[in-house]
A and B are shown apart, each in its own frame.
Chain A
Amino acid sequence: MKEKKVIVSLKGISKTYDNDVKVVKNIDLDIYEGEFLTILGASGCGKTTTLRMIAGFEDVSSGDICIDGSSVIGVPPYKRQVNTAFQSYALFPHLSVYDNIAYGLKVKKVSKAEIHERVSHMLSLIRLDGYEKRKPAQLSGGQKQRVSIARALINNPKVLLLDEPLGALDLNLRKQMQLELKTMQKKLGITFIYITHDQEEALTMSDRIAVMHKGILEQVCSPKELYMKPKTKYVAEFIGESNIFEGVVKDRNSDNCTVAIESGNILCSGDGYVAGQMVYVCIRPEKVRITRKAGSGNSLPAEIKEQIFTGNMMKHIAVLSNGHEIKIADIASYNDINIGDKVYLEWDAKDAVMIKNPTSPMAENFDTLRGVQ
């Protein structure tokens, strides 16, 4: 892979509001040229504030933001080489579609002929040719959002910031627009910084995802890695479904760790853990297998409590001996397992992902836990 150029660099940025509420806490993040980076988080996690600081609508309380190598602290939004697509579209209601898209160029006093050419190009890119004379009030939600994206893209920004642009659209339209946006981004090669609370949207579209929680970046990585190797308990719970166990590292060899959980010892994969350390273990529902007989590896006895048929798969909920519920997503053998069956749950060590437990790095009650088994 060729050397990637950093286009936006967040260096320890924080945002504290007047009432002493810290919404963004010391974030470090490099965003590369041409990538589709999504900042994913629940509402109120500080993701929009972060975006607004990059756009210049909010000042940073501390830290530095560099766009294309130079600091933009104190630079007003109209002098920054980024453009924004707003969640509420924020189209100018008194201007036509054409004039909305042309706005940025008109402000920069580009010649009329060039404006016409570039607006026409944008209109065909967003497939709204023939709509130039319409007012925003005469457009549907999806059309408004396309105009707002075209209006931002026409300035050829170094970075396009998208603040939950599809949030107000219905599900089908949203899925269609996701693909359209992704295609558009690949075609233009412009860096997209995309804000969403929708994990599926983030997984579908992004090159990298930055998960934000309570003003902190939890994990920044590819969608696949985020799902396969969550680094924090929050990420494991937030992205997809997961079964999470609390346990203590008992033993480790070159490949795996043995972790003592309440229901027994399980083999897990993870680097850099030491015996006695408290950890979480995350196992995805589709990695759990149901068997009739006890296996040699990770195998815990359980009873099937509930089954939900979703068409392409059967979702089971099984209860371990200690009452802990395990979710299982099964696409293979859902015919022969019924509610009330006594079964064994198995999974491979590589699918049991260890996560650090920040509340208590070393176990004080290790011995008591060991005594349980």
Chain B
Amino acid sequence: MTTSRSRFNFTALVYILPLTLALLLLVVLPLLYVGAMSFMGRGAYGGTIRRFTVDAYESLADFTYLKAVGRSICMALKSSVLCILLGYPFTFIVARKWKKSGKLLMFLLMIPVYTSSLARLYSLVIMFNSSGLINTALMKLHIISSPLQMLYTNGSITIGLVQYLLPFAVMPLYSSIEKLDEATIEASYDLGAGKIKTFIKVILPMTFPGIIAAFIILFVPAIGTYFITDVIGGGTVYMIGNIICNQFLSARNWPLGAALSVCVVIFILLMLYLYSRIGNLDDLGAM
């Protein structure tokens, strides 16, 4: 063991090096650059001036940005929770009850993942438009007299996020629900707990790591998303992603965009750290 570990393993290095280099060059280095940029001065036409300043972080305290951060967290939270609420019962049935037909359902669920997200988003726009499918149908049925404003609202953004994220919720849920031992559920019934009590006291705690994993997997992209809010929100509802995008592309305040990005990255790392702590606890409790 010790000898093989201390011996220089050239083959392993060859296998590992390309991806490691790519990650360093394409992820770590740009992120470090963004980090450095956030401490630089603002160039008049975009770009940065090489001098150390914390101006960008000072302007973060602006109420507009705080509001956007708050709104982003709320929206990400709402859509993540909604995805889990929708995904959990679906996954439970697919993983435990309909094992054969469930495979087809899982496949159907995964199709959108392989479809252009832009096409999916614009199809939602067509649904929610004032002359779209839903409004036309409601008016034809004389339920409403004038079209409802559905596009460019928080509601439609949430729906957009949910339809985009739902498949990603099902994957971690599936793995934790599927490995749930049927005997432990039977043991709970056997000891006098009905279906609801068994769910609360056994099934839910045992699949909790999967729920947390799903939450992280949903929450991280949800908080940084900007194209869903851009297309469905029509640029009227500002999330943190949209602000970052704007700082770089139109407001030409690169340091501020960079500082906002750093905040998002730190927040995400914090969440991942918390998850790893819970994940460890789970390992302790696992059989």
Partners in one complex: yes
Q: How many residues of B contact A (CB 8 A)?
A: 22
CB under 8 Å from chain B, chain A span 308-334:
none
> A273 an interface residue at 8 Å Cβ cutoff?
no
Q: How many residues of A contact B (CB 8 A)?
A: 28
Kindly state the separation between the CA atoms of A14 and B81 in the bound complex, as whole angstroms: 46
Q: Is the CB of A88 within 8 A of B183?
A: yes
Chain B residues within 8 Å of A155, by CB: 191-192
> A104 an interface residue at 8 Å Cβ cutoff?
yes
Q: Is the CB of B287 within 8 A of A107?
A: no
CB under 8 Å from chain A, chain B span 165-211:
181, 183-184, 186-194, 197, 201-202, 205-206, 208
Q: Mark A91-114, 1 if CB is under 8 A from B, else 0.
A: 111100000000110011000000
Q: A88-B181, A90-B181, A90-B183 are in contact. Are A104 and B287 (CB under 8 A)?
A: no
> B44 an interface residue at 8 Å Cβ cutoff?
no
Q: Quick one: closest A residue to B281, CB to CB?
A: A94
> B286 an interface residue at 8 Å Cβ cutoff?
yes
Q: A94-B205, A94-B206 are in contact. Are A86 and B285 (CB under 8 A)?
A: no
Q: Is the CB of B190 within 8 A of A77?
A: yes
Q: A88-B181, A90-B183, A94-B205 are in contact. Are A55 and B190 (CB under 8 A)?
A: yes
Chain B residues within 8 Å of A137, by CB: 284-287
Q: Mark A63-99, 1 if CB is under 8 A from B, else 0.
A: 0000000000000111100111010101111100000
Q: Is the CB of A86 within 8 A of B183?
A: yes
Kindly state the separation between the CA atoms of A55 and B192 in the bound complex, as whole angstroms: 11
Partner of B287, one of A86, A136, A152: A136
Chain B residues within 8 Å of A103, by CB: 188, 191, 193, 201
Chain B residues within 8 Å of A92, by CB: 184, 187-188, 202, 206
Chain A residues within 8 Å of B188, by CB: 92, 103
Kindly state the separation between the CA atoms of A90 and B180 in the bound complex, as whole angstroms: 11
CB under 8 Å from chain B, chain A span 109-147:
135-137
Q: A155 CB to closest chain B CB, in angstroms?
A: 7
Q: Is the CB of B186 within 8 A of A90?
A: yes
Q: B206 CB to closest chain A CB, in angstroms?
A: 6
Name 6 extra pairs, CB < 8 A, besides A103-B188, A107-B197, A152-B191.
A55-B186, A78-B189, A91-B187, A92-B188, A94-B205, A107-B201
Task: Write 27 A-B pairs (CB below 8 A) sorted by A numbering.
Answer: A57-B186, A57-B189, A57-B190, A77-B190, A78-B192, A84-B186, A84-B190, A90-B183, A90-B186, A91-B187, A91-B287, A92-B184, A92-B187, A92-B188, A94-B205, A94-B285, A103-B191, A103-B201, A104-B191, A107-B191, A107-B192, A107-B197, A108-B192, A137-B284, A137-B287, A152-B191, A155-B191
